[in-house]
Homo-oligomer: A and B are copies of this chain.
Amino acid sequence: MDQKGILIVISGFSGAGKGTLVRKLMEVHNEYVLSVSMTTRAPRVGEREGVEYFFTEREQFEETIRQNGLIEYASYCGNYYGTPRKYVEEQLTAGKNVILEIEIQGALKIKAQFPESLLIFLTPPSGEELKRRLEGRGTESAEVIARRLARAVEESEGVESYDYIVVNDVLEECVEEVHNLVGAARRAPVRQRAFIKEIREELQKFSKGAD
């Protein structure tokens, strides 16, 4: 069986708990690593170079694009965001499952380039609970909450493009469920190409009596 890591995209509604899930998954299972995005956006207070993002200048970002150094990138509110290729490919080769925490547009670009990537969409148990979580932070105005909900409506339009939809209700259960889905994904034909090729060749040889 193929021992290369799996490229995992985690998307989901704002408030679905993506960040918490990813941190816990990496804490419990050491075969996961998180890809850190590159951005031209200025660091916010508390953000650390190479942890939340790799912060870079516009010229450097565009040069990286030209050198095919990003596996996907997008422009959002006048800033670039992208996924550096080198780290992802190195980690996959080393057998690590690489997690990208990105949105649907990026997710679809990843799937087009890497058909064997795994797209997971994270959701709270219900729309009601999602709304409650957004409000529960207590830090946002009604207007901001309404805008996030409108965004969630848009995000919900894309969920059929994902391989799996996972409900984040109890964190520990959700972590194990995602881990099991990654195990299941290893059994999909798209991730068993080497094995399929090998068994076909063996069978052909045997059936011709060449053994």
Please give the residue numbers on chain A whose beta carbons come within 8 Å of chain B beta carbons, in ascending order.
1, 123, 126-128, 130-131, 146, 149-150, 152-153, 156-157, 159-160, 162-167, 177, 180-181, 183-185, 187-189, 192, 195-196, 198-207, 209, 211
B-chain residues with CB within 8 Å of residue A152 when the two chains form the complex:
203, 207
B-chain residues with CB within 8 Å of residue A166 when the two chains form the complex:
187
Known: A153-B200, A202-B128. A162 touches B189 (CB 8 A): yes
B-chain residues with CB within 8 Å of residue A150 when the two chains form the complex:
207
**Residue pair A199, B1 in contact (C-beta under 8 Å):** no
B-chain residues with CB within 8 Å of residue A185 when the two chains form the complex:
184
**Residue pair A160, B184 in contact (C-beta under 8 Å):** no
Known: A192-B165, A207-B150, A207-B153. A202 touches B127 (CB 8 A): yes
- A123→B189 CA distance, assembly (Å): 12
B-chain residues with CB within 8 Å of residue A187 when the two chains form the complex:
164-166, 177, 181
CB distance from A147 to the nearest CB of B (A): 9
- A131→B180 CA distance, assembly (Å): 32
- Set B160, B189, B206: member contacting A160, Cβ < 8 A: B189
- A100→B102 CA distance, assembly (Å): 39
**Residue pair A165, B127 in contact (C-beta under 8 Å):** no
B-chain residues with CB within 8 Å of residue A198 when the two chains form the complex:
126-127
Known: A146-B209, A167-B1, A187-B181. A127 touches B199 (CB 8 A): yes
Known: A160-B189, A163-B188. A127 touches B203 (CB 8 A): yes
CB-based nearest B residue for A147: B207
Most buried by B among A157, A187, A204, A205: A187
Q: What are 16 contact pairs spanning A and B, CB under 8 A?
A: A126-B198, A126-B202, A127-B206, A131-B206, A146-B209, A149-B203, A149-B206, A152-B207, A153-B204, A153-B207, A156-B196, A165-B187, A180-B180, A183-B184, A184-B184, A184-B185
